[in-house]
Amino acid sequence: MKQFKSMAYPYIVWISLLIVVPMLLILVYAFTTTGNSVTTIKFSLANFAKFFSDVIFLDVLRRSLLIAVATTVVCIILGYPAAYIIANAEGRKKFMLILLVTIPTWINMLVRTYAWMGILQDDGIINTVLSFLGIGPFKMLHTSFAVILGMVYNFIPFMILQIYTSLTKMDKSLLEAASDLGANRVQAFLRVTLPLSLPGVISGITLVFLPAVSSFFIPKLLGGGQYVLIGNVIENQFLTSGNWNFGSAISLIMAVIIMISMYITKKIDKGESMEGGVKK
Within 13 Å, how many C-alpha atoms sit on residue 109's CB side? 17
pLDDT band for 85, please (50, 70, 90 cuts): very high
Percentage of residues of the chain with pLDDT beyond 90: 40
Extents of the domains making up the chain:
55-279
Is pLDDT above 90 for 77?
yes
pLDDT band for 253, please (50, 70, 90 cuts): very high
pLDDT in tens, 48-63: 999 999 999 999 999 9
pLDDT of residue 278: 43
pLDDT of residue 173: 85
Q: Which residues of 23-43 are buried (b: 16+ CB within 10 A; e: fewer)?
A: eeebeebbbbeeeeeeeeeee
pTM for the structure as a whole = 0.84
For the chain, the average pLDDT equals: 86
> Across residues 153-182, what is the average pLDDT?
90
pLDDT band for 280, please (50, 70, 90 cuts): very low
pLDDT in tens, 96-146: 999 999 998 898 888 999 999 989 888 888 888 888 888 877 888 888 899
- CA-nearest of 133, 121, 273, 111 to 200 is 273
Better pLDDT: 123 or 87:
87
Fold category of 55-279 in CATH: MetI-like fold (1.10.3720)
> Across residues 236-261, what is the average pLDDT?
90
Better pLDDT: 269 or 185:
185
Is pLDDT above 60 for 1?
no
